[in-house]
Structure 1
Amino acid sequence: MNNIREILKTNQTFANALLHSQIQIHVYHLQTKSYSRHKAFETFYEKIEDLLDQYIETFQGKYGVLEDYSAIDLDNNSENCVEYLKGLQRINNKTKIGHLDSDLDNIKDEINELINRTIYKLENLR
């Protein structure tokens, strides 16, 4: 099993990133002049809310309450959205969980699926 400190640290980072992503993508949603991007962003920020809540509550049920939340600056250029989402995916992929945490792994997979679908829509549906 992974070191518990590493699990707690990477999951706190992931929780912060998930919470930030909901606000950041909503900002992109409000700024874009493209209808297809507007809808892609809308789908993301609506779905990520349930996924982040599900992930954090499941994690905390197993490992204890995360308490080190922090604010992250927002980006006001929606042209950075794909790179932002790829960065979120990298954080997801680096987040450590125990080898018996298939429930958390499944939610992480759903988050990656949402990120990949959103990137597809942003890059291909104009």
Structure 2
Amino acid sequence: MITTIKDFKINESSDNNKINIFFNSLFEFRQIAHNLHLTKSNYTEHMALGDFYEQLILLIDQLIETYQGQFGLLDNFNTNFSMNNDQSIVTIFESMTLWIKDEGKLVLTESHLLNILDEIIALSYQTLYKLKYL
């Protein structure tokens, strides 16, 4: 019998809806980066975004598989991403990185999960460096 996350009591700072929203938002961030990558003619931006979305999906996969290994299978993956074309790439990355940093620490409390979250945050800041200064 497959057990889903609904059968587990998640720590008090988290609930099923919050963790699903968080993981879905990571997928949305990856898709936004991929869409931006495909529309950029600037070589540096194109390469920085390509590196980002390729590495991010591996980290998201690692994070979710680790989470599910501890708490059970997740359900309700549903991404509905939208981009505000008026925002710069840097603005999008800065706001998404801050949101992931803040929200991730609310829904993930285990040190091994926070470690993977830190890798995602570091990747985001490394990409911001490339977008701003290269």
Normalising by the residue count of structure 2, what TM-score does the alignment of the two structures yield? 0.79
Alignment match, 1:28: 36
Shift of 1:91: 3.0
Identity %: 32
- Counterpart CA distance in 1 for 2:33 and 2:19 is 21
The one-letter code sitting in structure 2 at the alignment partner of 1:10 is K
- Counterpart CA distance in 1 for 2:12 and 2:40 is 42
The structure number with the bigger radius of gyration is 2
- Counterpart CA distance in 2 for 1:56 and 1:87 is 22
Runs of 5+ consecutive residues of structure 1 not aligned to the other structure: none
Shift of 1:105: 0.8
Runs of 5+ consecutive residues of structure 2 not aligned to the other structure: 1-9
Alignment match, 1:97: 108
Asked if structure 2 preserves the Cα contact closer than 8 Å seen for 1:29 and 1:38, the reply is yes
| Matched position secondary structure for 2:37 | helix
Normalising by the residue count of structure 1, what TM-score does the alignment of the two structures yield? 0.84
C-alpha deviations, 1:52-90, integer Å up to 9, x for none?
A: 000011111112222122222332738532222223223
Correspondences of 1:1-126 after superposition (within 5 Å): 2-3=11-12, 6-75=14-83, 77=85, 80-93=88-101, 94-95=103-104, 96-98=107-109, 101-125=110-134
The runs of 4+ residues in structure 1 deviating greater than 4 Å are: none
User: Residue 82 and residue 7 in structure 1: after superposition, are their counterparts in 2 closer, same or farther (change >3 A)?
Assistant: farther
